[in-house]
Structure 1
Amino acid sequence: MDSKDSKPDTGAEHQEYSSPVVSTSPNNMSPEQPVSTTTKDGGPHKSVPGVSLLRDLALDAEVADTMQKNMSIMEAVRKYPKAIAYSMILSLCIIMEGYDTSLIGSFFALPQFRKRFGVELANGDYQVTASWMSGLQNGTQVGQICGLMIAGILADRFGYKKTIIGALFLTIAFIFIFFFAQNIAMLFAGGVLCGLPWGAFQILTTTYAADVAPIQLRPILTTYVNMCWVIGQLISTGTLRALLHRSDDWAWRIPYAIQWAFPPPIILGVLFAPESPTWLVKKGRLEEARKALRGLTSSEVDDEEISQTVAMIAHTNELEMQLQEGTSYLDCLRGPNLRRTEIASVVWMTQVLCGIWFGGNITYFLQQAGFNPDKSFDFGLGTNGIALAGTIASWFIMPRIGRRTLYLVGLSVMFTILVIVGILGIPAPQPWIGWTSGGFMLVFVATYGMTVGPVCYCLVSEIPSTRLRIKSVVLARNAYNIASIVANFLNPPILNPSAWNLRGKGGFVWCGFCLSALIWSYFRLPEPKGLSAAELDILFEDGVSARNFRKVQVDVFARGNMKGEEEDARVADAVPVTSEKV
């Protein structure tokens, strides 16, 4: 048969099948007997005619799936302590990046920085021009967009560890440009170049956490990434607050120099961390996946459970291969994956659309509202502390009410606050208005810190398929970066006294974007709480609506058997009757 549907496995058209029946039990799984062979894209493929790999894996996979779903959080902590530790070590990259990216926004409120790189206004004050404020922030975003696309390809080919270590060494090198900057153009160049490794950190930390964590720990370890952002911002604001009264260039050089302290310990931790078992399974390296999983678990997990977990990962991988062909960026935009990419992208864009560019820049906002630098930076520290507490609170709320509900509630509250702050911005500036606006901003940041901020990282790592997870998150993060570029052009003129100078009335601008994100979330955002990767695959394949995700029950392993029977029939038709060779 020469039709596309009857084409035998890639690379095996002219070979006789002689592989043994697949097994993933501890006694049978070995490097000499991989679960599957390797295709052109490095993924596993069926190795035995007439015997469905999905059915071979289903028994052990179902045991592991049931075990993970019935596992309590404390049991997951006992069984996967090393996975928690290594995921947290890799997430330290985000503390560094949160610190780095926060510096730019905070520097705009630092008098010494404004005097060194800004222009003098008629009242004798110094301000960085609105165009350069946008340029410095957008230069970083452009670098991150390029870095994300490159990192997605490199991580799929070389794995997480090598890609992250390479990005860390690039960060060390590019910080020199910041530290020795002689003019604002050098800061722009440093931002573009540092954006390249920062882009890699943005996706690899989140996807690694999703790969190594069991279902019960996945929300905590993925949202911990948001906490790392907040910790980095807190360190950044605290550093500038401590240097506020220095009158020389060291007031802005020291914060840049501190960036060199982050990479060395992170590099050391990454060297000892196991590679992602999911990535290894996708490459067909099953024995290495077992060893990696052993390096992520405690002695409480025996070899049989390790093999069952690898079987579950391989089963999901094989099921996704039956549902989709490749693992390129274009595959993220085909079939059900287009919807998954849309959801991940808009979820991440919502972090911008909700108005955090306006509400989160509280230090600069309060200065324009009449606060002195000391008080505004104190408010900034308090805001970061509240955001940190918000992320911790989300760990306890999310397992009970889910991701979708938190998103909808958070966006509703933030929309209301933006409208109130906009109304408060109508009268002439007065001290009580500044304090009231500042109080509402704190509530805004606290709401963001409990809802949209951390939940986003959980959603963008859960929604994509495991085979396309890295590349889907790359596209989603780049959608965020593009939205950030627009926000970086829009927000500075709103607050800058040398431009539009809208002050609190900027809330009216941002509440419209927040409302659009709220409406989209209601109709398009599904609830993935408690669902395995394979269950999500089936729900998206069947086109279940977002509001019905938790209502529809799917039997992944029965569906896998059906797919396996179809594959058996296809292979049986494709393989000719054997005869002696002449």
Structure 2
Amino acid sequence: MSTLKDETTASHTESPSMEVDGNNQSVFVANEALARFQKHQHSMTVKEALKENWKPLIWCGYMFFVCIMYGYDALAGSVVISILEFRKDFGFRYGDEYVVSAAWQLGFQAAFFAGLMLGGFAVGPVVGRWGRKKTIAAAYVINIAGVFLQYFCTTPAQFFRGKLLTGFPLGAFATIAPTYASEMSPLAVRGAITGGMNLAIVIGNTVGYGVLREAGKYTGKDSYRILFAVQWGFVGVCLAILPFLPESPYWYIAQDKEQEARSVLAKLHKSSFDIDGRIAEIRSAMRQEHEAQQSQGSFKDCFNAQNRKRTGVAMMAFVIQNFSGMGWIVGYMSYFLQLAGMSAAKSFDLTVGISGIMVVGNLCSWFLVEYLGRRGTMLYGAGVLFVALLVIAVMAVAANSQAALTAQIVMMGIWAFVYQGTIGAVAWPVASENATSSLRTPAQALCTIANALTASIWGLSLPYAVNPDQGNLQGKIGFIYAALLLFCIVFVYFYVPETKGRTYSEIDELWQIGVPPRKWSSHELVVVEAGTKLRHNSDNV
């Protein structure tokens, strides 16, 4: 278990420094304001953190709602192919049923993920220049236009363009929301808050499945257009609240606007809040990466010798999600069940039920990320998912019966619970905490791009793998996902550090001195103020 000790003197220095001894300890020399603030952060209980930071957490809740919208939008565009009227209007008759050609399914997925990646690329420099608030406002406007195209389209080509335009703002939402939430959250609940972004996405998915189920009561084009119309309601709520959203103090400090940062912190906290300490903590985190340059840093900086491992860990946290079978089980479940002979109504009911299981699993993740830690949650979760996918694949090979299908559905339910309790939720704190403080926005953008790129590989492959007129792999695709997860388990063991209970400046220091990631939890960081005499022996620092 990592620990933090504190010794104080009256003297201080302008910037922190580090000394390392041979006893698995590091001495972090901090200025007075920073040492005081970090000591307070480590001493706070969850209840105290919630009481002291309730206003910032309300605005984290706003980003939570943005992620609900993201989850709904992302799902609506993919599950629409399970609606018969959509397949009639945009597909062709194949035997006794209607299907959308694998080529157009591929095109729709490619358009969505291309938009997602473009949004991820664009949002980094735009946020660095405009800030979180103005950037997300622009994304809302683009989202409205994209939904308009999807709602009124009459040909596959028009739907393709709508998917492309809608994907762009979703890339911005996926980047800005977790970044903002991590910057506004106190240490005691930071893991739960950033992990909660995934819960919001799951809730958005669940709402999408619920709307999908209700859409079955409509006839004609309304049966699938209602899926898109609901998105305007989400944007309307978000736009109404946006003018009151406070800008992140991290962005103000990066722009050398300390007074504005102080003003935001004063509005968000009581008069007794340690604003000087908070500013010192932000500056310290940025200073570790020589933030004295200009503002938020660039994509190129994310891959220099000092940052590439950190960026790689952050990106892999989201890549693992797509290697674990998420695109198949979440996006194709109802379609998979219908191809297996289940009625559309029953398949919709089942997907709503499994989506509910995902919500429960994600609620459990709030406990797991703090109890098992980020690394432990990811490692154990990947192991269980590996087994679940193998069982699904083996059952698909062993028998072609109702009993075998039922067994696969049960394992999908287990997969859904474990995925959302572990891999699905922990990616957000792992990415936000390991990304360099001064590069958090471009690093999160790269995570969005990596997520979209790997998801697009499956988006392009799955139509050919599962369509009855193509590969028709059914549950046997679990073998492929299990093999990829085995690689991911090895990566997590050697490269993902435990960041639970560490402030951002401490995480920066541990990366800087090169502590092996798998040994972070046993490495002791001793914080003293400048001017304190340091005594080294076999027992003490």
Match of 1:314 among 270, 283, 298: 283
- 1:437 counterpart = 2:446: no
The residue correspondences of 1:355-374 to structure 2 (distance < 5 A) are 355-360=325-330, 361-374=332-345
> Are the aligned partners of 1:369 and 1:429 in contact in 2 as well (CA < 8 Å)?
no
TM-score by length of 2: 0.90
Residues 398, 503 of structure 1: CA spacing in aligned structure 2 closer, same or farther, 3 A cutoff? same
- 1:160 counterpart = 2:160: no
Match of 1:238 among 176, 196, 210: 210
Residue aligning to 1:38: none
Residue aligning to 2:168: 196
Residue aligning to 2:453: 482
SS at match of 1:126: strand
- 1:113 counterpart = 2:86: yes
For residues 558 and 110 of structure 1, the distance between their equivalents in structure 2, rounded to whole angstroms, comes to 64
Aligned-residue offset at 1:428: 5.0
> Are the aligned partners of 1:534 and 1:556 in contact in 2 as well (CA < 8 Å)?
no
Residue aligning to 1:513: 484
SS at match of 1:248: coil
The number of equivalent residue pairs is 509
Output one character per residue of 1:131-156: Cα deviation in whole Å (capped at 9) or x when no partner. Answer: 21121112111011111111111111
Letter matched to residue 82 of structure 2: A
The residue correspondences of 1:411-560 to structure 2 (distance < 5 A) are 411-427=382-398, 429-555=400-526
SS at match of 1:321: coil
> Are the aligned partners of 2:132 and 2:176 in contact in 1 as well (CA < 8 Å)?
yes
For residues 176 and 311 of structure 2, the distance between their equivalents in structure 1, rounded to whole angstroms, comes to 17
> Are the aligned partners of 2:16 and 2:31 in contact in 1 as well (CA < 8 Å)?
yes
Residue aligning to 1:97: 70
Letter matched to residue 131 of structure 2: G
Residues 66, 141 of structure 1: CA spacing in aligned structure 2 closer, same or farther, 3 A cutoff? same
> Are the aligned partners of 2:192 and 2:370 in contact in 1 as well (CA < 8 Å)?
no
For residues 495 and 143 of structure 2, the distance between their equivalents in structure 1, rounded to whole angstroms, comes to 37
Aligned-residue offset at 1:128: 0.9
For residues 288 and 490 of structure 1, the distance between their equivalents in structure 2, rounded to whole angstroms, comes to 48
The residue correspondences of 1:81-230 to structure 2 (distance < 5 A) are 81-121=54-94, 123-230=95-202
**Which structure would you say has the larger RCO, counting Cα contacts within 8 Å and 6 or more residues apart?**
2
Residue aligning to 2:232: 260
For residues 80 and 396 of structure 1, the distance between their equivalents in structure 2, rounded to whole angstroms, comes to 20
Residue aligning to 2:21: none
Aligned-residue offset at 1:170: 1.5
Aligned-residue offset at 1:64: 0.6
TM-score by length of 1: 0.84
> Are the aligned partners of 2:145 and 2:165 in contact in 1 as well (CA < 8 Å)?
no
Aligned-residue offset at 1:112: 1.5
Residue aligning to 1:389: 360
For residues 216 and 339 of structure 2, the distance between their equivalents in structure 1, rounded to whole angstroms, comes to 17
Letter matched to residue 425 of structure 1: A
Output one character per residue of 1:424-445: Cα deviation in whole Å (capped at 9) or x when no partner. Answer: 1114532111111111101001
Output one character per residue of 1:313-335: Cα deviation in whole Å (capped at 9) or x when no partner. Answer: 12222233179998111111012
Aligned-residue offset at 1:349: 0.3
Residue aligning to 2:20: none
Letter matched to residue 369 of structure 1: A
Letter matched to residue 390 of structure 1: G
Letter matched to residue 302 of structure 1: S
Q: Once superposed, what is the RMSD of the aligned Cα atoms?
A: 2.1
Letter matched to residue 312 of structure 2: E
SS at match of 2:500: coil
> Are the aligned partners of 2:198 and 2:424 in contact in 1 as well (CA < 8 Å)?
yes
Residues 273, 457 of structure 1: CA spacing in aligned structure 2 closer, same or farther, 3 A cutoff? same
For residues 93 and 51 of structure 1, the distance between their equivalents in structure 2, rounded to whole angstroms, comes to 41
**Rg comparison, structure with higher value:** 1
> Are the aligned partners of 2:77 and 2:163 in contact in 1 as well (CA < 8 Å)?
no
For residues 314 and 174 of structure 1, the distance between their equivalents in structure 2, rounded to whole angstroms, comes to 39
Calculate percent identity across the aligned residue pairs: 29
Letter matched to residue 181 of structure 1: C
> Are the aligned partners of 1:357 and 1:487 in contact in 2 as well (CA < 8 Å)?
yes
Aligned-residue offset at 1:534: 1.1
SS at match of 1:120: strand
For residues 369 and 293 of structure 1, the distance between their equivalents in structure 2, rounded to whole angstroms, comes to 56
For residues 430 and 531 of structure 2, the distance between their equivalents in structure 1, rounded to whole angstroms, comes to 25
Aligned-residue offset at 1:385: 0.7
Residue aligning to 2:377: 406
